[in-house]
């Protein structure tokens, strides 16, 4: 069985079968309460910022 890859040696050029990958910047939201920008795909910090009163997260969190 022959496996096709994107390698130059095989001469096979792959194509995307879905939409192009989005930039990470498109998932950022600004929280007006604490003024931080947050990646909406990171559930832990999103739940933290969902509280009406909270402290800004430190960079290591």
Instruction: Assess contact for 12 and 4: CB atoms under 8 A.
Output: yes
Q: Which bin fits 35, alpha (ψ -120 to 50), beta or left (φ > 0)?
A: left
Binding site for Zn ion (CB under 5 A): 31, 34, 49
Give the shortest CB-26-to-Zn ion separation in angstroms: 20
Give the shortest CB-57-to-Zn ion separation in angstroms: 7
Give the shortest CB-40-to-Zn ion separation in angstroms: 13
36 HSE (CA, 13 A, CB side): 16
Q: Indicate the residue among 14 and 44 with the shorter CB distance to Zn ion.
A: 44
Q: Indicate the residue among 49 and 61 with the shorter CB distance to Zn ion.
A: 49
């Amino acid at each position: 069985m022959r496996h096709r890859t994107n390698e130059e040696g095989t001469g096979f050029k792959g194509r995307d079968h879905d939409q192009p990958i989005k930039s990470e910047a498109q998932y950022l939201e600004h929280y007006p309460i604490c003024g931080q920008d947050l990646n909406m795909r990171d559930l832990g910090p999103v739940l933290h910022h969902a509280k009406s009163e909270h402290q800004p997260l430190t960079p290591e969190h």
